[in-house]
Amino acid sequence: MTRSEPIFNVPAVVLAFIALFALIRAGEELLLSSECDIEEFLAYFAFIPARYDAASDTFPGGVGAQVWTFATYAFIHGDLVHLGVNSAWFLPFGSALARRFGTLSFIGFFIVTSAAGALMYLFTNTGDMSEMIGSSAAVSGCMAGAIRFVFQPGGPFDTFRSGNEAAYRVPAASLVAALRDPRILVFLVVWFGLNLLFGLDVVSLGIDQPIAWQAHIGGFAAGLVLFSLFDPVGSQST
């Protein structure tokens, strides 16, 4: 019997996330018939910095929305291009983490990195009325978490051994060791350089709305630093 290669065997939790992204997007298209309906939906579930102004009472949902929008914004996408780009990046990096973490820890990691991205966006856009949506902060967190182990000896990128399930269980690099690895440093330079281009509006990826690059950085930093709190395998000592 031929064994299915894990690289083509996407974890169910990753498929469930992508399906949920798509269902929410479809629901917006099919169920929200007017611009007013869309704005009301976003007022409840998008992340809006102005919601946290001390004197602001213009947003629905009250205190509850001030809490749940730190996560719910990540499940909403502005259009099919936005959904497709985020899903395409989420598929490989989310799958690598889901194989390592398991379902519950992966869900927790997704929520925490989403919240970290929203928090960074809030700090850098205080009082802004614009809605932030999309899973990019969590996807960035998944990228950061994955680089803690994919370059390790015997890991998924070591001689391209992605077909070996044990490759996702190798001890992770410590944070200090990761920041000394030339391959990871190159990845960081490219990633932060790309986000700088987002911030300067040089790159748009074909997405109509402005890219919340600050949320990308918040999610990435949280994924890199908090990875060990979710990792069931552990890190190498240095």
Residue 132 three-state SS: strand
> Residue 192: what pLDDT?
84
Residue 16 in any domain: the answer is yes
Range of the domain at 154: 12-230
> Residue 202: what pLDDT?
55
Q: What is the mean pLDDT of the chain?
A: 87
Phi/psi for 228 (5° steps) reads -65, -25
Residue 217 in any domain: the answer is yes
What confidence tens digit (pLDDT) does each residue in 43-93 have?
Answer: 999 999 999 886 567 788 888 999 999 999 999 998 999 999 999 999 999
Compute the average pLDDT of residues 26-52.
91
pTM (2 decimals)? 0.88
Residue 238 in any domain: the answer is no
Judged by average pLDDT, the poorest of 31-35, 39-43, 182-186 is 31-35
The half-sphere exposure of 210 on its side-chain side, counting CA atoms within 13 A, is 11
Structure tokens at 91: 């598929």
The domain that contains 191 carries what CATH number? 1.20.1540.10
Residue 5 in any domain: the answer is no
Residue 7 clears pLDDT 90, i.e. is over it: no
Strand partners, 132: 47
Of the pLDDT bands very low, low, confident and very high (cuts 50, 70, 90), residue 198 is: low
| Domain tally, the chain | 1
Give the closest residue to 18 by CA, choosing from 88, 68, 70.
88
Residue 62 in any domain: the answer is yes
Residue 102 clears pLDDT 80, i.e. is over it: yes
> Residue 159: what pLDDT?
53
The rounded distance, in Å, linking the Cα atoms of 14 and 12 is: 5
What confidence tens digit (pLDDT) does each residue in 105-164 have?
Answer: 999 999 999 999 999 999 998 888 889 999 999 999 999 999 999 988 888 876 555 557
Residue 6 in any domain: the answer is no
Residue 119 in any domain: the answer is yes
The rounded distance, in Å, linking the Cα atoms of 114 and 8 is: 26
Residue 59 in any domain: the answer is yes
